[in-house]
Amino acid sequence: MMDMTIRPRRLRGCDSLRHMVRETRMSPDSLIYPIFVDEQLTGRRPIDALEGQYHYGLDSVCGAVRECVEAGVGRCILFGLPAKKDASGSSAWDRKGVVQQAIRAIKKEFPDFYVITDVCMCEYTDHGHCGALCGHEVDNDKTLELLSRTALSHVEAGADMVAPSDMMDGRVAAIRAVLDKNGHQNTPIMSYSAKYASAFYGPFREAAGSAPSFGDRKGYQMDPHNRKEAVKECALDVEEGVDILMVKPALSYLDIIRECSDAFDLPMCAYSVSGEYAMTKAAAAAGLIDEYRVMCESAVSIFRAGADILITYYAKELSQAMRKGDIG
């Protein structure tokens, strides 16, 4: 027998011990569930590109929230599919817009449920880009006014937090100034700080009806090759007064999550995007993987990389896994 005093396996001997010495801790409080609300829909409709996910009408959005609450998830992020689109995306800040109506409905039935809203123009413009156009380019500075109006309309409808996802320069400062001017100094901003021009967004664009009608979004979303740029983007958001940082996507950008989490003393959110979810579903349907175990392991890896918060289509299932003690 070898004379070894240091034996790491001692701490792997049983479930109780393994749970006690876990380095990465998670709870359902760290989960956010995406909800898609369609202004023209009654009831709910399956999203073909995202198995198990749905579009909800204004009459059924509270049912989606009720399912979250029953699963132990107390937070959502709302995405709207408006009845009308135009060049400027004016439905985005309409007091009677789809997201604004959804917020009021949720808050009436579930006043303590935490509602975050995605702030972008792509679902509302008839061209599908994330802001006002100047020719075939997105006009950064003109878009800041539209984003600020949209964020303010969400907060005035009752949103607890706004999350700009557009990747315009200066958007956090612009939104912060408008919210503060209108008496909403205590409303937090969670910015999509490092949002990459990723191929993993495909199913979401079908779900949100937000694919661009021409070109792509590489002129404002980040190049997947770049790491230092993510730190720069986060630093700018911090200077502008952001409250929570975000990296999107998650699984292919764990290095970015770790680096930005280490660099800044703010909560770090990661968005496990539609393509990540769809790949897991497809592989499970083909019998290639154990969906539950892969779902759990993927989430653990994101938190282990440095995320404090996770936006995920598996939020309800992960909450149950945490409650059972399988992870967390």
Angle, vertex CA 249, rays to CA 244 and CA 252, nearest 5 = 125
Q: How many CA atoms lie within 13 Å of 13's alpha carbon, on the beta-carbon side?
A: 5
Beta pairing class for 54-56 and 44-46 = antiparallel
3-state per-residue secondary structure call for 72-135: CCCEEEEEEECCCCECCCHHHHCCCCHHHHHHHHHHHHCCCCEEEEEECCCCCECCCCCCCEEC
Can you tell me whether residue 220 is helix, strand or coil?
Answer: coil
One-letter amino acid of 99? V
Q: 132-140 long-range CB contacts below 8 Å, 24 or more apart? A: 132/87, 132/88, 133/87, 136/214, 136/215, 137/219, 138/168, 138/219, 138/220, 140/168, 140/169, 140/170, 140/220
- Which residues are designated catalytic? 195, 248
